[in-house]
């Protein structure tokens, strides 16, 4: 009788453990995805160095604060070089 009880508990615990096994593929997390700072314009993402035209002015996506290496990005007026040598 005791062997039967021990056997029944063993079978029940093995069955319970078998129910917790998942056949789904493992989830892979791309940790770097979406963490890079970006600029937004018209619901679109732009990386650092991107140039867009707003109105008749060009803007470049650059660091918000020049001393930060991995800080926020924001739109800055694009510096146009003057070819005018007066």
Please indicate, yes or no, if residue 74 is contained in any of the structural domains: yes
pLDDT in tens, 26-37: 665 555 556 788
pLDDT of the residue at 52: 94
Identify the CA nearest to 63 among candidates 76, 80, 46, 79. Answer: 76
Overall domain count for the chain = 1
In a domain? residue 53: yes
Residue 40 domain-assigned (yes or no): yes
Mean residue pLDDT of the chain comes to 74
Which ranges of the chain have pLDDT less than 50?
17-18, 86
- Note whether residue 24 is domain-resident: no
pLDDT for 61: 93
Residue in the structure block whose two tokens are 């005791």: 2
Q: Give pLDDT, residue 13.
A: 62
Q: Tell if the pTM clears 0.85, that is, is over it.
A: no
Is 75 inside a domain boundary?
yes
Residue 72 belongs to domain spanning: 35-81
* Residue 73 located in a structural domain: yes
Q: What is the pLDDT of residue 10?
A: 61
- Does residue 28 lie within any of the structural domains? no
**How far is Cα 69 from Cα 50, in angstroms, rounded to an integer?**
17
Does 23 fall in a domain?
Answer: no
């Amino acid at each position: 009788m005791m062997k039967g009880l021990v056997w029944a508990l063993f079978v029940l615990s093995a069955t319970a453990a078998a129910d917790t096994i998942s056949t789904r593929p493992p989830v892979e997390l791309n940790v770097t995805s979406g963490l890079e700072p970006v600029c937004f314009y018209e619901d679109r993402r732009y990386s650092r160095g991107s140039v867009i035209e707003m109105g008749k002015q060009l803007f470049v996506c650059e660091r918000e604060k020049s001393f930060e290496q991995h800080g926020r990005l924001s739109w800055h007026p694009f510096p146009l070089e003057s070819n005018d040598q007066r």
